[in-house]
Structure 1
């Protein structure tokens, strides 16, 4: 009965098995539990680590779990690095005053005290929690959707394109939720007298620039976040596959959950460095446009210079985004393990050629 169910599930989903490969031991446990007659055992005590109700892959509950995991991973991590974000944004906006990371910390502490390092934490938490829910939940959806369109053979052959398309689609939607909160965050962090936080900053911003003003930075935000997320997900999946293929002799299914989560963090940190390099010019544009009323992209390029557009605040952002991305994948995959789902990524199987008779 369990074997028929497994075959049916594989038939209904055309997504390649390497994208999600649950432990073979867990399959044996599930199989033996399902096929065991009630009379053969008086009672059975489940393991504390074993979820009481397994989430069905690609079900509404599966995508909801992805959204919750994304909320936790993005909301918590971005809020935790608010001090670094405060310094980074001020270095981008006022480089004459904030000349370096160390001097930036000193200036903020001298002028605003410890509270100055956490200015804008509320819009950061709300904005990136909403963004994370859409980003991760929809990535899981679009990854399967595009894989089903391509079919098993092409989805395996062009898996990187699947990752890129799925992440771009999810981030495009997620940024619509993030943009208003990002505008408030930048204004609060770079203009200390503007507002204390989200509760008074949002109505003040809307009164000054209107509701549409909250979305004035949407195009630069897409320019920053979409390439960032495409690099984040595609490079992460590729790096994790390479780690399991070349650095760890044991198949992923036989590795402990602790080791798998360590791979999630390490792969995420490396992916975060690549993300920072790709998205940094757009990050400078977002900070500049949200800080100056009526500013244009041309004004930003003229003020920052082409070299400054690519390099201003980059070392600090590499540190911030590397830590951020590694922590996000760790939290996200930890949540998936907690609810009984496999961690993200793995080794792709070799494509099996079609039989000569079929050709």
Structure 2
């Protein structure tokens, strides 16, 4: 490495170097932050559907109700928590995924790559969701209670004294887990790193995120309920109902999966396949 460039390559960093992890982290932050920011109106509706399903019972009717009663600005309530919170989560998720992938590849030498990829994703997701929890807890309170506070980042001091904060963190870090399905296409000879996502690769990722969305739906409903209607997890589950835990707001959550996942992996894969990185020696 000389002057920030790998000698003889003209590239900025080597794969699995500190610079490589930094680029992956930045790519994850940018992709996750911007994708979640763009879907804020649907996220506002999702949270309100969870805490008031009678009033907000459909996607189009719910958006219309929010617009008429609270104005267009209501659809962007909690945007700062979405942008910064999921930016932090994305940075941890993608950056740590690469770190754990290298770590587990060295430790679990004889194991199948899919096992290594899954373990890496699971490990990174735990740290990512713990980092997200404070932002998410404040965001949900802002979106469900307009008089609470206008800006998510200003709400931390106020929110630290509210019931359900710790429970929200535990619920999110435990259940809001996403599965990662490894690449289903072979690398072409001569390519330093994988190409940007193919249709097959993107479809596998969408399926994995959809499965994760279904699995995490009960926890997502409980987290929303804890911010407005319940003081404990058991009370939240009782208020929502067992069946509703799995079905309430699920259609809109799955609808959000497509654009969010597509944007995240587009930015991330673009950076990973860029000319800035040279593959590590075998």
Equivalence for 1:319: 255
Query: Equivalent residue for 2:209?
Result: 272
1:286 maps to 2:223: yes
Q: Does 1:57 align with 2:8?
A: no
| Paired positions, count | 272
Q: Secondary structure, in 3 states, of the residue corresponding to 1:146? A: helix
- Secondary structure, counterpart of 1:260 in structure 2: coil
Query: Residue 220 in 1 paired to residue 171 in 2?
Result: yes
* Structure 2 counterpart of 1:170, from 124, 131, 138: 124
Cα separation, 2, equivalents of 1:339 and 1:71? 20
Map of 1:151-300 to 2, 5 A cutoff?
Answer: 151=109, 154-155=110-111, 158-206=112-160, 208-209=161-162, 214-226=165-177, 228=178, 231=179, 233=180, 235=181, 237=182, 240-241=183-184, 244=185, 252-253=188-189, 260-263=196-199, 264-292=201-229, 295-300=231-236
Whole-Å separation in 2 of the counterparts to 1:124 and 1:198: 9
In 1, Cα distance between equivalents of 2:189 and 2:38: 32
Computing the radius of gyration over CA atoms, which structure comes out larger, 1 or 2?
1
**Per-residue deviation at 1:78?**
0.8
- Once the two structures are TM-superposed, the CA of residue 254 in structure 1 deviates from its matched residue by 7.2
Give the deviation of 1:104 after TM superposition: 0.8
**Residues 100-141 of structure 1, C-alpha deviation per residue, up to 9 Å, x if partnerless?**
112210110011111111000001111111111111111111
Unaligned runs of 5+ in 2: 1-5
User: Counterpart of 2:147 in 1: which secondary structure?
Assistant: coil
- Preserved contact between residue 85 and residue 132 of structure 2 (Cα < 8 Å): yes
RMSD (Å) for aligned C-alpha atoms: 2.6
TM-score, normalised on structure 1?
A: 0.69
What runs of 5+ residues in structure 1 fail to find an aligned partner? 1-29, 35-50, 246-250, 344-359
Task: Report the structure, 1 or 2, having the larger helix content.
Answer: 1
Q: What are the Cα deviations for residues 275-317 of structure 1, in whole angstroms up to 9, with x where unaligned? A: 222221221122212334x622211221111111001111111
- Return the alpha-carbon distance in structure 2 between the equivalents of residues 161 and 291 of structure 1: 40
Instruction: Quickly say closer, same or farther: Cα 1:342–1:319, change in 2 above 3 A.
Output: farther
SS of 1:96's partner is coil
Residue deviations 1:208-266, cap 9 Å, x none? 428xx64331121023323x2xx1x2x2x1xx31xx26xxxxx54479x9973344544
State the secondary structure of the residue aligned to 2:54.
Answer: coil
Quickly say closer, same or farther: Cα 1:70–1:260, change in 2 above 3 A: closer
